[in-house]
Structure 1
Amino acid sequence: MAADMFTVSHTVGRVLCCMCGVTMAPNAANMCVTCLRSQVDITEGLQKLVTVLYCPECGRYLQPPRTWVKAELESKELLTFCIKRLKNINKVRLVDAGFIWTEPHSKRLKVRLKIQKEVINGAILEQAYVVEYTVEDHMCEKCSRVAANPDQWIACVQVRQKVEHKRTFFFLEQLIIKHGAAAAAVNIKQIHDGMDFYFANKSHGLKLLDFLSNVVPVRSRHDKQLVSHDTKSNTYNYRFTMSVEICPVCKDDLICLPQKVAAGLGNIGPLVLCAQVSNSLLLLDPQTLRTAYMDANQYWRTGFTSGFRSLLNARQLVEYVVLDIETDPSASSRASKYVLADVQVARKSDFGKNDITFMARTHLGHLLNVGDFALGYDVYAANTNDPELEKYRNLSLPDVVLVKKSYEEKRAKRRGKPRPWKLKALDMEIDPSALRQDQDKAAKEYERFLEEIEEDPEMRAKIALYRDANYRPQSETASMIDGDGDEPPTVPLEELLADLRIDHERDESEAADDVEMEED
């Protein structure tokens, strides 16, 4: 009771407006809101009318200078696009923004903006105004070429590889995306055994051909077809076709080198593994750790029309269990990243059925331990029908050739779960012949390609991986249940790129203001 007797109630003083004399709460300008707005217009200098270009064919808006943005009516993406088109918006503080409904066919967009700005004597004034956008139809470059003549192409680059899988094309697609090698393509078509790139200019096709010869071992041939001939001006119009054949040898394939080739490479092999594929093949002898490079010209000059082929490919890999291992550091080269070892292995499928084991010499001594799983070629049970292998006399073949460490058992628990990263894809038209293939088979091949990216840092360095904004990290409880010892390789977060779109017209101050606006 005594404490309540000494409580003092505070009252807010009222003052008169210096302009109209209305009683109001005091502020820095000593003016009421009505008089303050009559004296100061914070929307002065801001755009009220803006013209935007819209492509009616593909439904995209032009973000100057050359970027086309896909956005639906009254969507968040379209609202962001409209705000970015305003000049001098960084001079005020944007509080709120929203669309005012207009007829979809009116070619008008109205956005109501609420802004704040510091005015007389530090007083902050808030005001709303409407910006009207006039939408003008303007076809983008790609749609205009298609609308002019859908079949208007001058050069076609046909990329083929005579193998049973799509691993090479998955990797090649990522290289093309990263370097923008097919940015000028009028159309890209996916065929069951390759891809076709169509260009409106022959030089663009030659540029892609030059890029392909620098990243994969290829051979090509050029053909041209006469389209029209003007006898008066003596001008000719041709269509050019460039056929590109990729070497059918892929990474991790087991190869039996012909005798002349093995002698030319320093008597390596003759059984070698393809350790890496770039513009040349890196061949590795797993018995001695000797390596040799073979470029495209050497491969196609082996005296055969199609070069030598793989003895066994990655689809024929068998999973083994390492029972015993003994490394041999003295036989390993310091310059090599591999370590020779003698291992005792058994097929995983033989467990509980028989006691068959194999002794093998492998280059994976730095990776394998007792109890690990490894993928290798079962040469002992393989039906090899290679004429080059029959030419070698008194050649003793190893029973097993190990290729890489296997994480299949641990990956099976995580298979089907989302990854924190993603890859981009080319905008390709799929040929009906490619759709007739087994979709489950294609999905499994793509999953193996993603797993190979996680296992091979050298491959990751050549392509671009992006953060997946829709990825949600797994809870700690679930991760503790799934995690049991040695985990399969994953992509480090520091190697991922943010999937951002760079606008060349905006400066750094405007970009910083947009970040501040989103935080508010």
Structure 2
Amino acid sequence: MRVAQKKSSFDLHLFSTTVIQIGLTANSVYFQYFKMDGESGMFFVQQTIGSVLCCKCGVPMQPNAANMCVSCLRSKVDITEGLLKHVTVLFCDECKTYLQPPKTRIKAELESKELLTFCLKKLNLDKAKVTLVHAEFMFTEPHSKRLKVKLRIQKEVLHGAVLEQSYIVEYVVHYQMCDYCNRLQANPDQWAAAVQLRQHVSHRRTFFYLEQLILKHDAASQAIRIKQMDKGIDFFFSNRSHGVKFLEFVGKVTPIKSRTDKQLVSHDTKSNTYNYKHTFSVEICPICREDLVCLPPKIAVSLGNLGPLVICTKVTNSIMLMDPNTLRYCFLDADQYWRSPFYTLLSSRRLIEYIVLDIDNVSAEVSVAGSRYALADAQVARVSDFGKNDTIFNIRTHLGHLLSPGDHALGYDLYGANPNDSELDKYRGLVLPEAILIKKSYEEKRLRKRGKPRAWKLKNLNMEVDDTTARGRVNQDQVDNEYEEFLKDLEENPELRFNVSLYRNKEYQPSETASMTDGDELPSVPLDELLADLEICDDDVEATDSNMRE
């Protein structure tokens, strides 16, 4: 043992100095001393570890429990003995899933954490009584059908000595179609459950929004086929449980009522087994957002004399109805609606454009179920009347926080409309307003950007179009116009796009002149709400390889 002191020399006396050990490292021990005269300091003692000879080869080494060097210990003991070095995994190339016996399918990308966990579970290292220290993938060609994982493990060997060793496990990937894809390839129409979504309205805006909800939550991942019908969409599944799960999802996002039917396909008398085809007929509530509704007298009384003219402002698993004259509102769930259903007085296809001549706020801006509204008295005129007459309407609106003199708004023309609704006849002495405004219009400002691509885009389901619905170019033009209206609603309403995944459009190229002429008043989607659509091409891979070589 050798003692190393500081530069200032001192004497240690047995009775005049107190020494305390304060630290310990691999090669030294730290002490602190205190003298009677108040002086204190630190010093350390450097230890010299002795060496012994290996009992096998005689090489000097540091002593251990086995008294053998690492080379001799590895030649005598192999801790990887009995562990799997070659493993076979089954992979379905159609649905990109791996088989976890007995019947579980796991979907994982190459060199991902999920795939690494799946590979390690195949080894059963816990039963071999070894400790896993590190695991990582080794590079293999994507077409080689091989996966290589490098492992570093530890295990206690002779007389308590711990040995660490690395080895490589090779996984051979065999292609084998799963039962789901096998049945699909054999017969695409071999479905066991079908969910038929229908809504009896004159537009498809509800299905556009429902399609985005299904894509975001991946609710139709188990569907073997999706078919677009005249008044809705059909989803086909290979298992009844998948259809039931999808039906539960639709019931959580829209007010629906459903009916279940089944048809016998085959029957085995020996094993007494039956095969059925199940059909779930689903009807979506015909009340859509921005629709004008005349409540039946009984329902209006049960809702606290609400309305009777109300507008639908939001549709989730319940319907939100609001009186535009008083800002009173209520929620109707699916059971309440289908117990005593009612229908729209005017739908969003009957909206016309007005211009605001003057507006006077009646109340301050308030929050109604999370949305901002303000009552105001406004003077409006139809845009179509300019140059023909000077008809002006004095109305009350709930859009006082948005509208200013000179703005355009979309609303329902009750002055020139002839609504044929039996519920209106039940209200004696009811005075209809001349117009009801629904939302602010930006059509005049959008004329400058007509034909220019948006900075964002949406994904769509892979649907087949029924032949009976493809009746020429007219229907397709109508669907395109309705889809364009849906995109405009997403830009104008942040609450509507809250549950929708928007992706960046690579074809969009912003220009300085366009940004200067468009103005800040035109609604748009902020860039922080967009998701990057990740696509890896061959050029990106080659560029990455060249950077790695440099």
TM-score w.r.t. the length of structure 2 is 0.67
Which residue, out of 75, 79, 88, partners 2:138? Answer: 88
Provide the rounded CA distance (Å) in 2 between the counterparts of 1:352 and 1:217. Answer: 45
Map 1:253-268 → 2, pairs under 5 A: 253-268=291-306
Aligned to 2:522: 488
Quick one: structure 1 residues 519 and 203, their matched pair in 2 at CA, closer, same or farther if it must change by over 3 Å?
farther
Which residue, out of 319, 339, 353, partners 1:319? Answer: 353
Paired residues, what number? Answer: 398
SS in 2 for 1:380: coil
SS in 1 for 2:373: coil
Aligned to 2:507: 471
Tell me by how many angstroms 1:108 deviates.
Answer: 8.9
Aligned to 1:127: none
Q: Which amino acid aligns with 2:415?
A: Y
TM-score w.r.t. the length of structure 1 is 0.70
Aligned to 1:309: 343
Quick one: structure 1 residues 495 and 333, their matched pair in 2 at CA, closer, same or farther if it must change by over 3 Å?
closer
SS in 2 for 1:410: helix
Tell me by how many angstroms 1:263 deviates.
Answer: 0.7
Quick one: structure 1 residues 142 and 494, their matched pair in 2 at CA, closer, same or farther if it must change by over 3 Å?
farther
Aligned to 1:103: none
Provide the rounded CA distance (Å) in 1 between the counterparts of 2:187 and 2:368. Answer: 61
Q: Which amino acid aligns with 1:285?
A: D
Q: Which amino acid aligns with 2:352?
A: V
Q: Which amino acid aligns with 1:443?
A: D
Map 1:173-184 → 2, pairs under 5 A: 173-184=211-222
Map 1:419-434 → 2, pairs under 5 A: 419-434=454-469
Tell me by how many angstroms 1:66 deviates.
Answer: 3.2
1:444 matches 2:481: yes
Quick one: structure 1 residues 447 and 333, their matched pair in 2 at CA, closer, same or farther if it must change by over 3 Å?
closer
**Contact 1:52/1:61 (8 A) holds in 2:** no
1:194-214 deviations in whole A, cap 9, x for unaligned? 011111111110101111111
Aligned to 1:66: 107
**Contact 1:62/1:68 (8 A) holds in 2:** no
Map 1:274-285 → 2, pairs under 5 A: 274-285=312-323
Which residue, out of 192, 205, 208, partners 1:170? Answer: 208
Aligned to 1:272: 310
1:362 matches 2:405: no
Gapped runs of 5+ residues in structure 1? Answer: 1-50, 70-85, 91-96, 100-106, 110-133, 503-510
Aligned to 2:283: 245
Q: Which amino acid aligns with 2:497?
A: R
Quick one: structure 1 residues 259 and 177, their matched pair in 2 at CA, closer, same or farther if it must change by over 3 Å?
same
**Contact 1:323/1:344 (8 A) holds in 2:** yes
Provide the rounded CA distance (Å) in 2 between the counterparts of 1:453 and 1:197. Answer: 26
SS in 1 for 2:372: coil
Quick one: structure 1 residues 234 and 52, their matched pair in 2 at CA, closer, same or farther if it must change by over 3 Å?
closer
Quick one: structure 1 residues 289 and 432, their matched pair in 2 at CA, closer, same or farther if it must change by over 3 Å?
same
Which residue, out of 442, 465, 487, partners 1:407? Answer: 442
Tell me by how many angstroms 1:52 deviates.
Answer: 12
Which residue, out of 212, 231, 247, partners 1:193? Answer: 231
Higher relative contact order (CA 8 A, sep 6+): 1
1:211 matches 2:245: no
Quick one: structure 1 residues 150 and 331, their matched pair in 2 at CA, closer, same or farther if it must change by over 3 Å?
closer
Q: Which amino acid aligns with 1:448?
A: E
1:460 matches 2:494: no
1:407-437 deviations in whole A, cap 9, x for unaligned? 0111122122111111111111111122226
**Contact 2:291/2:311 (8 A) holds in 1:** yes
SS in 2 for 1:159: strand
Map 1:47-126 → 2, pairs under 5 A: 66=107, 87-89=137-139
Tell me by how many angstroms 1:331 deviates.
Answer: 9.6
RMSD (Å), alpha carbons: 3.3
Aligned to 2:451: 416
Provide the rounded CA distance (Å) in 1 between the counterparts of 2:190 and 2:107. Answer: 22
1:337 matches 2:372: yes
- Structure whose alpha-carbon radius of gyration is higher: 2
Gapped runs of 5+ residues in structure 2? Answer: 1-88, 100-105, 111-135, 146-171
Provide the rounded CA distance (Å) in 2 between the counterparts of 1:519 and 1:398. Answer: 75
Provide the rounded CA distance (Å) in 1 between the counterparts of 2:549 and 2:293. Answer: 58
Higher strand share: 2
Provide the rounded CA distance (Å) in 2 between the counterparts of 1:515 and 1:403. Answer: 56
Provide the rounded CA distance (Å) in 2 between the counterparts of 1:63 and 1:146. Answer: 18
SS in 2 for 1:398: coil
Tell me by how many angstroms 1:143 deviates.
Answer: 4.6
Quick one: structure 1 residues 296 and 347, their matched pair in 2 at CA, closer, same or farther if it must change by over 3 Å?
same
1:352 matches 2:415: no
Percent identity reads 55
